[in-house]
Amino acid sequence: MTEISVPKGLVGVIVDKTAICTTDAEGNLVYRGYKTVDLVSKKTFEEVAYLIVHGDLPDRNQLKEFNEMLVKNGEIDSRVLKVIDLLKERDIMKNLRSMISLYPYSTADASHMLPEIISKVPGIIAHSYASVTGKKVGNSDAPTYSGRFYQMITGNSDSRKSEFLSKLMILYMEHEFNASTFVLRVAASTLTDPASAFTSALGTLKGPLHGGANAEILDFFKSFRNEEEAVKFVDSQLESGKKVMGFGHRVYKQKDPRAQLVKQLMKELNPDSKELRIAEAIEARVWEKKHLPANLDFYAAILMDQLGIPQDLYTAIFAAARVFGWWAHYEEQLSDNKLIRPSSEYVGKKDRVL
């Protein structure tokens, strides 16, 4: 077999085929052939989740069954709740990863374990946060996955704000062979069980160069009192050769359409907000100086703050959406599986003698 040398980080390398998600020539994120900008405006989170997993949009009965399945499997085992309360782990992503790994699933069959994992993610996140804050898990009587999740983590039944979160979560649901998805597919290629593959993906998503970025953005953003302070900070960062959090993306070089869509959601939610003015000033300055577009995490962090969502949960919310993409990728990998095992170029010392 002839070995092929590829760029570090697999930049620009196509490693496999997928029918789940892509980015088209105009820079639009596309799920199963539909532009996400259209899905966000015309479909619910659950309809898009069904599309990602099953390949087509559901009819009324299919959607009803899908929602009922998520509700039925969503209850958390009392023994797991005791472990969560005993540990009181402040790192929600660490706790989510651990609970997904140790959970006593009803079956080892992947086709049943996958929906069971997905259904339990909101409850594990909500109970993990409640265990360290002393707050109660909000009443979860909403008829949808995203609606219940919003109620559980905020204690708020505001249907309008819940809808804004569900739209944001649609944008987080899937994004080609990103780092966490690729790790999940590597794990799946070994024929390991879904819980093990999801644990690998969650550990990867947690990193600050991937899903963990959105939680850090709000820290620097909140320090600005006005647009002038924000622009001055951007100038100082760039002049000293440092990065500005929330800018740049390996796929989107001119504009991240997801970020622009979230900015539009912010304008609908609170058109006169100071936060929006500051965000747009930062976006304009970074583009002027470095030609780097704002990415999804930049505006998502600000929107979630306006929706009353605790900052400690930002990355976990990313995970609660992306698990549907992971479900689809796990099954797609196994549908035509080959163990993912690349080679490496050895650059260490040679011919050493004891």
Long-range contact list for 134-138, CB < 8 A, 24+ apart?
Answer: none
175 among known catalytic residues: no
* Segment 134-183, tens digit of pLDDT: 999 998 888 889 999 999 999 998 999 999 999 999 999 999 999 999 99
Note the CATH number of domain 213-306. 1.10.230.10
Rounded to an integer, what distance in angstroms lies between the CA atom of residue 218 and that of residue 199? Answer: 26
Residue whose entry in the numeric block shows the structure tokens 């790790």: 183
AA letter at 316: A
User: What size, in residues, is the chain?
Assistant: 354
Structural domain spans, the chain? 21-206+311-335, 213-306
* Segment 19-50, tens digit of pLDDT: 999 988 888 899 999 999 999 999 999 999 99
210 among known catalytic residues: yes
Rounded to an integer, what distance in angstroms lies between the CA atom of residue 249 and that of residue 299? Answer: 14
141 among known catalytic residues: no
Note the CATH number of domain 21-206+311-335. 1.10.580.10
> What 3-state DSSP class applies to 21?
strand
Catalytic residue among 297, 305, 329, 336: 297
Catalytic residue among 54, 77, 91, 210: 210
The residue ranges of DSSP E strands in 175-320, in sequence order, are none
* Segment 283-338, tens digit of pLDDT: 999 999 999 999 888 899 889 999 999 999 999 999 999 999 999 999 999 999 99
* Segment 69-123, tens digit of pLDDT: 999 999 999 999 999 999 999 999 999 999 999 999 999 999 999 999 999 999 9
Catalytic residue among 158, 249, 305, 312: 249
Mean pLDDT confidence for 122-131: 97
